[in-house]
Amino acid sequence: MTTQRTQVAILGAGPAGSLLSLLLKQAGVDSVIVERRSREHVAARIRAGVLEHGSAETLRGLGIGQRMQREGHVHEGVELAFAGRRLRIDFQRLTGVPVIIYGQTEIQKDLYVALDEAGCSVLDDAEDVALHDVTSSTPSVTFTRDGTATRVVCDFVVGCDGFHGVSRSAIPESALRTYERVYPFGWLGILSETPPVSDELIYANHARGFALCSMRNPQLSRYYVQCPLEAKVEEWSDDRFWEELKQRLPADVAGRLVTGPSVEKSIAPLRSFVAEPMRHGQLFLAGDAAHIVPPTGAKGLNLAMSDVVLLSRALDQHYHRGSSELLAAYSETALRRVWRAVRFSWWMTSLLHRFPEGGAFSQRLQETELDLLAESAPAQQVLAQQYVGQL
């Protein structure tokens, strides 16, 4: 078995792990990323695309936001459609900042280019990844790559390997508390090479179920409709999807919807999940390894980026100022923001989706709450602040 030494071993080369490695490189802290999938697989994963202002600023601060600036879509608000009405939440007026629509797939490509240019170490296609001695001063990660068994000895391990990764399972059940809410529906989403129906996102509350109109670029649209958990992708032809989407959108929006063949179609279940604490010994959790939120609030990617920004500052302080104060506070600090995002995502999900047990009574309550939101400038401001990441 070969042995390597680094300061920080990062599990997972997705946006959280890649961003952390770059932030640490900028701070003069050595790291190694261990990724069990191929680079092509990681770069091709289709995920969220809404960047909070702070997340976009983080990318700009690393000097890797140029393509985002050219190809991303600056959104100064979103629309909520309900009961034949439209309510625009004006981010720019209410918060002073916009969000940017830029697909996670594109972010990952930019991060990989930056990792290569910075000379960061990324070991992909790693098999049988395991963590060892995470409560000692010399934890390690073992894996097999290209037939060679390797051990990476380090000071700290950061688990950015997602909900199904090995990091969280390295924490004993007796030391971990988990909280979970599984929602009784999913999102059926498609990508189509058609112009978006709107310049801004449209969230639709309808008696038939939730719908969302989003985009990736001027000729690539992303649409979703709420569907039962037991639904199968093969049951949904493109024609059926478009017809269902049109029924859930305002008539004027449906009338200008450009349809076409889907280039990707999938069903995503919705859940809220939090693991506490986000530190065990020298092991830190970040991103989906520690928390999952339904995509309604556009928080998943932004939370992951927030986690690793906190960690990079804490590790910088540890190595260059001889203080572990921020490391000690990491879990508590991160979880404060996580739970606020969980609450916001839960609220958005509860407000906009049709729950099987709710019936007409629940639908009218949702419409009433949306009506109250439309009449309350302070409520709109709170929604906007949470959406752009100010609360």
Domain boundaries, the chain: 2-49+103-176+277-348, 183-270+357-388
Best CA proximity match to 23, nearest among 159, 118, 154, 165: 118
The per-residue pLDDT for 322 is: 97
Backbone CA torsion sign across 343, 217, 287, 163: positive
Regarding beta strands 211-217 and 220-227, do their DSSP bridges make them parallel or antiparallel, or are they unpaired? antiparallel
Q: Provide the 10 A C-beta neighbour count for residue 52.
A: 24
| CATH H superfamily, domain 183-270+357-388 | D-Amino Acid Oxidase, subunit A, domain 2 (3.30.9.10)
Is 109 known to be catalytic?
A: no
Does this model's pTM top 0.85? My answer is: yes
Is 356 known to be catalytic?
A: no
- Integer Cα distance of 389 and 391 in angstroms: 6
The per-residue pLDDT for 217 is: 85
Is 203 known to be catalytic?
A: yes
Per-residue pLDDT tens for 121-157?
A: 999 999 999 999 999 999 999 999 999 999 999 999 9
Of the listed 15, 98, 196, 295, which one is catalytic?
295
The per-residue pLDDT for 179 is: 98
Q: Which stretches of the chain drop beneath a pLDDT of 50?
A: none
Is 295 known to be catalytic?
A: yes
Per-residue pLDDT tens for 13-36?
A: 999 999 999 999 999 999 999 999
Of the listed 102, 203, 223, 224, which one is catalytic?
203
Q: Provide the 10 A C-beta neighbour count for residue 336.
A: 10
Is 224 known to be catalytic?
A: no
Tokens coding 288: 């989906």
| CATH H superfamily, domain 2-49+103-176+277-348 | FAD/NAD(P)-binding domain (3.50.50.60)
* Residue 118 CB partners (closer than 8 Å, separation 6+): 22, 25
The per-residue pLDDT for 269 is: 95
- Integer Cα distance of 185 and 360 in angstroms: 17
Of the listed 280, 291, 299, 353, which one is catalytic?
299
Of the listed 102, 183, 223, 387, which one is catalytic?
387
